[in-house]
A and B are shown apart, each in its own frame.
Chain A
Amino acid sequence: MTLPAVLLLVVFNYVPLFGLATAFQEYDPLAGVWQSPWAGLYQFERLLNDSLFWGALKNTLYLSFVQLILFFPVPIALALLLNSVLSERIRNFIQSVVYLPHFFSWVLAITIFQQMLGGAGALNQFLRSNDIGTWDVMTDPHTFALLVTSQVIWKEAGWGIIVFLAALAAINTDLYEAAAADGAGRWRRLWHITLPGLRSVIVLMLVLRLGNALSVGFEQFLIQRNAVGHDTAEVLDTFSFYYGIATGDYSYGAAAGLFKSVISLLLIWGANKLAHAFGEDGLYRK
């Protein structure tokens, strides 16, 4: 019964692994992987001398960093707030609302942002009617990092609270009562009971975030790259798409992809080592 799934994985996940050989070739679509001439590390040399590639790497790391600082704490704070709401009805309602955008496609989410903040959107409609001037947020490269981070927060922060809510629910309420009896106020209880209770989940999410530092949301950038310009919006994934598939330079794109995969694997491994060093399970238990 396992076979159909395994077969699909072998064809579409394992066979492409051999296709990574193209990164060491000068791939010719007519000749295919078997006949294309080998090029050694030529494609990687090209990458290292390509300022566009370095630009994409720099953008990726910068956006990842901004997301880590601005996005990461939001679901935790939201979960704490929501958990403190007493009425179950209100809690359920808020949960249903904040989970919803997670199921929107990026096309839809960005269309919504464009209608609200774009040149012809609600914000500028308001600014124009009050003669304040206009600000097309969607095409402004200076605030692009903040824009995409707020998109991620809008779309995913609500969904992100689920794991934290579950972890909060697993904290023994007797601990709070005992602490209160010993005179601990609500902030001390938050610091000494709630946050330690969330620790392992926070570490796990952090490991995942660090491991994915080189992936900042492919579709989100693919859609917005041209409006903002590739100087600010090119990330590693869009780089491999544009210079690999769109221009037909397959080997070059594959080399960029392979570069990203190898570094990502190292990052996951390193982040997990770090988690173990802090006495947490991290992504996997030894």
Chain B
Amino acid sequence: MTLAIERASGDAAAKPLVAQAVRQKKNERPSWEEPPTVVGEAAKGITLGGVVLVMLVPLWIIVVTSLSTQAAVNRAGGLVIWPDEITFEAYRVMLSDSTVRSALIVSLGITAVGTLVSMAVSVMCAYGLSRARSLGHRFFLMLLIITMFVNGGLIPTFLVVTGLGGYGQWWALILPSAVSVFNILILRSFYASTSVDLIEAARIDGAGDWRILWSIVLPTSRAVTAVMALFYGVGYWNSFFNVMLYMPTDSEKWPLQYVLLTYVNRGNGMPGSVNSGFGDQFSQTAPLALQMAVVVLTLVPLLIVYPFVQKHFRTGVLTGAIKG
């Protein structure tokens, strides 16, 4: 039995989308293709333009509103679409607010530690499984794959974590979801098909497995490593449900997403906004610009990392990663 995901990522690793490269190199219409109709081209342009706008316009409105003064928000009757009076006041207030500040630190901390743990564990596991003669690798592979189809589900997992004393503990936000079998299988198929000769040569020269992993396998698979780290990192950065399960009342341990949910999405008053210069008429709901600033804050780290990793999506890393 072979899984579709292994087949796909194995193929992708073996020939990193040569076909796509060939097709994309040619920026011109092949001579045998009939000339496009005006209507067809216009419809295509409008559709694709519309798709891009649907993605970007909401982000634009949110960013502009977060940069607006209260007066501009009042004039616009809510969200601000065209920049009117630009101010960084909302950001200043937000970063001086203890709730947001601690949430930012918590989020960054969980993301950093979680990604590190996940990557270490996954890379080691994938390397171990990629060496065909390693001890019991078929058995371990099955053990991994089974978890993709069968799991205890929400409540038994909750009972195990709380049974181990995880309630209110940081590790409860990281360890239960630290291993993604899916990511391991992608890494494994890359490791299995790249630099086989190099590895053999290194082994003859007396390098051990740790040395091979660190000096050969990792450097030769930077793209896939970067993409997997992004997947894990985004997972930790975005998670909020495990907070709801394991520390719903410890507001100083809340990460940014949970703050966003509580104060922006559900419109509860931000405790800090009472004495933050906006006056206590805002103690019920934080001003719109401030809310939008929190939204932007949750976006910023992603927008910083995304351009660096995103270019690897096209190099064939993900053809396998997305299947399954």
What residues make up the interface of A, taking CB atoms closer than 8 Å to B? 1-2, 4-6, 8-9, 11-20, 22, 27, 32-33, 78, 81-82, 84-88, 91-101, 103-108, 110-112, 114-116, 120-122, 125, 128-129, 154, 158-160, 162-163, 165-166, 169-173, 176-177, 180-181, 185-186, 201, 204, 208, 218-219, 222-223, 237, 240-241, 244-245, 250, 253-254, 257-258, 260-261, 265, 268, 281-286
State the CA gap A166–B127 with chains docked (Å). Answer: 26
Complex: A108 Cα to B264 Cα, angstroms = 10
B154 near A244 (CB under 8 angstroms)?
Answer: yes
Taken together as a complex, chains A and B put the C-alpha atoms of A86 and B26 apart, in Å, by 8
Known: A2-B124, A15-B160. A180 touches B153 (CB 8 A): no
In the bound assembly, the distance between CA atoms of A100 and B240 in angstroms comes to 19
**What are 8 of the A-B contact pairs (CB < 8 Å)?**
A9-B143, A12-B161, A12-B175, A78-B51, A96-B307, A99-B310, A125-B77, A281-B4
A254 near B153: Cβ-Cβ < 8 Å = yes
Contact B153 A257 (CB under 8 A): yes
Taking a contact as CB atoms closer than 8 A, the residue among A1, A16, A105 that contacts B159 in the complex is: A16
Q: Which residues of chain A are near B160, meaning CB under 8 Å? A: 11-12, 15-16, 19
Quick one: which of B114-173 are within 8 Å of A by CB?
A: 120-122, 124-125, 127-129, 134, 137, 140, 143-144, 147, 149-161, 163-164
Are A237 and B78 closer than 8 Å at their CB atoms?
no
In the complex, which residues of chain A have a beta carbon less than 8 angstroms from the beta carbon of B28? 86
Q: Is the CB of A283 within 8 A of B34?
A: no
B34 touches A13 (CB 8 A): no
Q: Which of B22, B34, B59, B156 contacts A19 (CB 8 A)?
A: B156
Task: From the candidates A104, A108, A125, name the one contacting B78 in the complex (CB within 8 A).
Answer: A125
Q: Are B152 and A20 in contact (CB under 8 A)?
A: yes
Do residues A16 and B153 form an inter-chain contact, with CB atoms below 8 A?
Answer: yes
Closest to B164 in A: A11
Q: Which residues of A contact B150 (CB under 8 A)?
A: 17, 261, 265
Q: Which residue of B lies closest to A208 (CB)?
A: B324
Interface size band for B: 35 or more
Return the 8 tightest CB-CB contacts between A and B, nearest first.
Answer: A16-B152, A19-B156, A105-B238, A169-B20, A5-B125, A257-B153, A16-B156, A2-B128
Report whether B157 and A4 are in contact in the complex, using a CB–CB cutoff of 8 Å. no
Nearest CB of chain A from residue B284's CB, rounded to whole Å: 14
**B179 and A84: CB pair below 8 A?**
no
Please report the C-alpha to C-alpha distance between residue A253 and residue B245 in the assembled complex, in whole angstroms: 14
Interface mask (B1-25 → A, CB under 8 Å = 1, otherwise 0): 1111001000010000101101110
A104 to B143, CA, bound (A): 31
Known contacts A88-B27, A111-B264, A219-B241, A185 near B20 by CB under 8 Å = no
- Given A12-B175, A204-B323, A219-B240, check contact A112 B295 (CB 8 Å): yes
- Are A162 and B319 in contact, CB atoms less than 8 angstroms apart? yes
Known: A254-B153, A284-B2. 17 other contacts (CB 8 A): A4-B124, A5-B125, A5-B144, A5-B179, A27-B159, A33-B159, A105-B257, A107-B238, A108-B238, A108-B260, A154-B55, A169-B17, A169-B24, A173-B30, A208-B324, A237-B154, A261-B153
The listed residue with most A CB atoms (<10 A of its CB), out of B4, B77, B122, is B4
Whole-angstrom distance between the Cβ of A187 and the nearest chain B Cβ: 11
Measured CA separation A13–B151 after assembly (Å): 6
Q: Are A285 and B56 in contact (CB under 8 A)?
A: no
Bound: A166/B177 CA distance, A: 29
Using a CB–CB distance below 8 Å, which chain B residues touch chain A?
1-4, 7, 12, 17, 19-20, 22-24, 27-30, 32-34, 44, 47-48, 51-52, 54-56, 58-59, 61-62, 76-79, 81, 120-122, 124-125, 127-129, 134, 137, 140, 143-144, 147, 149-161, 163-164, 175-179, 181, 184, 209, 213, 230, 234, 237-241, 244-245, 257-258, 260-261, 264-265, 292, 295, 298-299, 302, 306-307, 310, 313-314, 316, 318-319, 322-324
Question: Please, which residues of chain A bring their CB within 8 A of the CB of B140?
Answer: 2, 6
Known: A5-B179, A19-B159. A107 touches B124 (CB 8 A): no
Which chain A residues lie closer than 8 Å to B316 at the CB level?
166
Q: Is the CB of A245 within 8 A of B245?
A: yes
B2 touches A116 (CB 8 A): no
**Residue of A4, A27, A111, A253 most packed against chain B (CB within 10 A):** A111
User: Quick check: B2 and A98 within 8 Å, CB to CB?
Assistant: no
State how many angstroms separate the Cβ of B48 from the closest Cβ of chain A: 6
Say yes or no: A186 contacts B19, CB within 8 Å.
no
Cβ B3 vs Cβ A284 within 8 A:
yes
Indicate if the CB atoms of A125 and B240 lie closer than 8 Å: no
Q: Which A residues lie within 8 Å of B245 (CB)?
A: 245
Most buried by A among B34, B245, B318: B318
Cα A22 to Cα B155 in complex, Å, equals: 9
**Chain B CB within 10 A, most for which of A105, A106, A177, A265:** A105
CB–CB B4/A9 < 8 A = no
Residues on the B chain within 8 Å of A237, using CB: 154
Pick the contact of A1: B24, B76, B127, B295 (CB < 8 A). Answer: B127
Residue contact B24 to A8, C-beta cutoff 8 Å: no
A82 in complex: contacting residue of B19, B48, B125, B306, CB < 8 Å: B48
Cα-based distance from A51 to B34 in the complex (angstroms)? 59
Asked if A17 contacts B151 (CB within 8 A), the reply is yes
* Complexed CA–CA distance, A222 and B314 (Å): 33
